[in-house]
Amino acid sequence: MGKGVAWILSVGNELLIGRVVNTNAAWLASKLTHLGYSVRRVVAVPDEEGDIVEVFREALGRADVVISTGGLGPTPDDITNLAFCKALGVEPVVNQEALRMVKEKYEARGYPLTPEREKMAMMPPGAKPLPNPVGTAPGILYEHGGRVVVLLPGVPREMEAIFEGYVEPVLRSRGPPVYFAEQVLVVRGVPEADVAPVIREVMKMDPALYIKSHPKGFEVEAPLLHIHIYASAEDRQRAEALVEAAVGRLKQLLIAKFGNRAEISTTQAPR
């Protein structure tokens, strides 16, 4: 089931000193999951060539889809595009289409094309620049040997705009369609540990099913659990039916086991 393994690479010192919360990774992880990919790693590394090269090499050996964010801008520590070339073992070239994109943005305001700006057009030979409708640094799409690697800027609105405009369609078209369904069950009054065997039992229904409980209250004093039920399948109806069935079975087993002690309700999955 699914379209393959995805890794998300987050480049930027601000993530490693805790200045910035990695919302980009969560946004991308959700997108990739709903597109049918299985995200196996999110790795944040500093703006250092050695670290970026290393993590790209690891990802290239393990993932079908690799998405990076950060390090495409004009400042000296924006080096993700160059480090990616190094990870591939190729010399970066100035992509003429990318250069045109960058030039247009600056020239419209009368700014010259400095070497710092030209750097934003450098990528591996054969890569495709992705227009940035919001900022100046183009994204980079590199397909090779059945793998897709996408480099996106770190500014969230730029990253999101490029992903939705130019990456999502590419990823959606690869492999069979995959749909993702989910529901949340809210259970009050029963500690997580007592619910665990029930979850384990229900998960046996189907390998495409995944159930996880998240404690929201205080385990012992006032237990409150959110149980997330997920399924993916090649058609939407099957995914939704599987989640429905699992929710029904969960309720049934919880009531059989805890009776009135368990207060069960459903809540809308946040998306």
CB closer to a copy of itself, 148 vs 199? 199
Tell me the β-bridge partners of 66: 7, 149
CA distances from 186 to 105, 161, 265, 268 (A): 50, 34, 5, 10
Q: Does 218 bind a copy of itself (CB under 8 A)?
A: yes
CB closer to a copy of itself, 77 vs 244? 77
CA distances from 104 to 108, 127, 128, 142 (A): 6, 20, 17, 23
Q: What is the dihedral of CA 176, 145, 66, 13, to 10 degrees?
A: -170
Of 4, 74, 165, 175, which lies in the binding site for a copy of itself, with binding defined by CB under 8 A? 74
Q: Does 31 bind a copy of itself (CB under 8 A)?
A: yes
Kindly indicate which of the ranges 29-37, 81-89, 168-176, 255-263 contains the residues binding a copy of itself, using the contact rule CB under 8 A.
29-37
Of 59, 123, 127, 155, which lies in the binding site for a copy of itself, with binding defined by CB under 8 A? 155
Of 49, 91, 116, 164, which lies in the binding site for a copy of itself, with binding defined by CB under 8 A? 116
Task: Provide the minimum distance between the beta carbon of 21 and a copy of itself in the complex, in angstroms, as a whole number.
Answer: 4
Instruction: Please provide the DSSP assignment of 83-139 as one string.
Output: HHHHHHT---EE-HHHHHHHHHHHHTTT----HHHHGGGEE-TT-EEE--SSSSSPE
Binding residues vs a copy of itself (CB under 8 A) = 10, 13-23, 25-33, 39-47, 51, 73-77, 105-106, 108-109, 111, 114, 116-117, 134-136, 155, 191-197, 199-200, 210, 212-215, 218-221, 228, 230, 270
